[in-house]
Amino acid sequence: MNGRPDMEALAPDRMKRLAWRCRRGMLENDLVLSRFLARRGSAITEDEIAMLDVLLDLPDRELWDLIAGRREPVDAAVAPLVAQLRST
């Protein structure tokens, strides 16, 4: 089972676009996000992608403050992904 019920594995071109979007100007964010994507791979869920999209709209410093645990997410819907990123 690939963790994506009723769905094919994430298409390679979509995964590449997601990985490109995860490239950040701040090395710490870049490392955490690339590790997360490497670990989840094509098994990443649509919910995780939606949460990631919200987080990627944040400026680098705000994203790092969330990942580093200096602040909690304002949007509770992204809290599960923030917790995963903190443990990466």
End-to-end Cα distance, the chain: 23
- Among candidate residues 86, 88, 53, the one with its CA nearest the CA of residue 72: 86
Domains and CATH numbers, the chain: 12-86 (1.10.150.250)
What share of the chain in percent tops pLDDT 90? Answer: 78
Tell me how far apart the alpha carbons of residues 55 and 75 are, in angstroms, rounded to a whole number: 10
Global pTM reads: 0.82
The lowest-confidence range among 34-48, 50-64, 66-80 is 34-48
- Give pLDDT tens digits for 16-30: 999 999 999 999 999
Tell me how far apart the alpha carbons of residues 66 and 86 are, in angstroms, rounded to a whole number: 8
3-19 burial code (b ≥16 CB/10 A, e <16)? eeeeeeebeeeebeebe
